[in-house]
Amino acid sequence: MFFKNIIGQQETKHRLIQSVKDGYIPHARMISGPEGIGKMALALAYARYLSCTQRGEDDACGICPSCIKYNKLSHPDLHFVYPIVKNDKKKKEICDDYLKEWRQFVLQNPYFNLNGWLNFIGAENSQGMIYAKESDEIIRKLNLKAYESEYKIMIVWLPEKMHEACANKLLKMIEEPPAKTVFLLISENPDRVIGTIQSRTQSLPVPPIDDESMAQALQNTVIGSEAPQAHSRDISSESQEIVHLANGSYLKAIELIENSEEMRQHLELFISIMRNCWKKDLKNMRAEAENFAGLGREKQKSFLSYAGNMMRENFFYRLSMPEINYLNQEEAGFSKNFSPYVNENNVIDLINELALAERHIESNVNPRMVFFDLSMKIAVLIKK
C-alpha cells in the first residue's frame, strides 16, 4: 500500500509524511476511527515510507529492496498482531500461525473489518482475540536487532481485543521500547484499550473519507496493484446516495453496492424482533432467541451494533432530518411506520440496552438469555 492508493485522507497523509521528513517518529501511535475509512491502509503506507531507502517527496519509491518486500508484506522488520482463533488441532496459537492467510487477506483489500477477517480464516462461531501468549512473541521479535531497516515496526490491529495479560506486557514494551521501535496501534474502539496504553501513545484520529474522494473511488477502476478492488457495475446514477449512506466508510459503500447478504439478514431479524416486541409475542421472542443463539458470536455482536444504529437512524428519521439520516431504501420502508416509536423518551435507553447486550455477548454470557432479556426490555421501551 502506497499513500497514493489511499482514498482521501489528504490531511492525515500529509501529517504522517511530514513527520518522517522532520525526523519526528513517535515510538507509539494510536490510529483510531470507525471501520472502513483506511486506518490499516494509512499504517501500511506510513510503515513502507518509513522503511523506504529512496523516499520520494510524497511517497515511497516502490523499487528499493524494502519496497519490494513490502509488496508482499514480507519485510523482516515489519511485524503484525491481530485477533485470531485458537485451533489446537491445526496447532494455531499465535498470530504468526496465521501469517500466510493474513498477508493474503490484507493484500487483497486493506479496507476490511473483523467479521471479514474471521470469515476468511473460517472462525465460525468463535470470537477473535489477541491471546496472552502473543505478548511473548511481541517481546521476542522486538528485542531482536533490525535486519534491514532502520526501524522495527509492529502493527497491532484492534488492540481492544487483547487479553489483559497481553495488554499489560505490551504496556511495559511501549513504556521502554527497544531503540528504533515503532508501534502502530489501529483501533476502532480506543476507549476499550487499557488507559495506561492509551496514555503512552500519540493519538491520531482518522476522519471519515470525504464525499468527493469516496465518489471518485467508487467510480474508478483499480489504481495500481494494491488499490482497493474495482467493481465493474455502473453506479453513477446511485453513487450520490451510496456516498451519503456510507458516511465516510469505503467498506460500507462496497457493502451497499453489493447489497450484502449479511445486511439483509440483519434488517430481517431487526424487523422480526421489533414486531414481536410490539405484540409482546413471547412465543416468537423465544424462537428468535434460539435463532440468535445459532449465530456466531461475532455475527451476534455485529447484529446488535446494527440494531443500535437502526435505533439512532429511526430517531432522526422521525424528526425528518435527511441530512444526518443514513437509511437505505429497504430500511427506510420499514422505518416509515416504526420510527414514531423511537422518541425522546426511549431512544437513549434503547441504544444503551443494545450496547449492554453486545458487551454481554462479548463476555460470553448465554446468548439466549441475553437476547430474550433484551426483547423483553425493548417491548417495554417502545411503548413509552
Name the fold adopted by 3-205.
Rossmann fold (3.40.50)
Closest CA to 94 of 149, 187, 166, 151: 166
Which triple of cell numbers denotes residue 146? 533490525
Q: How many CB atoms are located within 10 Å of the residue 119 CB? A: 16
* Cα–Cα distance for residue pair 270/382, rounded to 1 Å: 14
Q: Judge whether 267 and 331 are in contact, CB under 8 Å.
A: yes
Strand order in the sheet with 152-157: 78-81, 152-157, 181-187, 28-32, 202-205
Phi and psi for 187 in degrees, rounded to 5?
-125, 145
The DSSP symbol for 323 reads G
* Cα–Cα distance for residue pair 184/128, rounded to 1 Å: 19
* Cα–Cα distance for residue pair 384/212, rounded to 1 Å: 41
Give me the residue spans of the domains in the chain. 3-205, 211-258, 261-381
The per-residue pLDDT string of the chain (384 residues; one tens digit each, 9 = 90 and over) reads 899 999 999 999 999 999 999 989 999 999 999 999 999 999 999 999 999 999 999 999 999 999 999 999 999 999 999 999 987 777 788 999 999 999 999 998 899 999 889 889 888 777 889 998 998 998 888 888 888 888 999 999 999 999 988 998 888 888 888 888 999 999 999 999 998 999 999 999 999 999 889 888 887 743 333 444 444 444 455 577 778 778 889 988 887 777 667 778 889 999 999 999 999 999 999 999 988 888 878 788 889 988 998 998 899 888 876 666 678 778 888 998 999 999 999 999 999 999 999 989 988 899 999 999 999 999 999 987
Percent of residues in the chain assigned helix, strand, coil, to nearest 5: 55, 10, 35
Name the fold adopted by 261-381.
Zinc Finger, Delta Prime; domain 3 (1.20.272)
Global pTM reads: 0.74
Amino acid identity of 32? S
* Cα–Cα distance for residue pair 177/298, rounded to 1 Å: 33
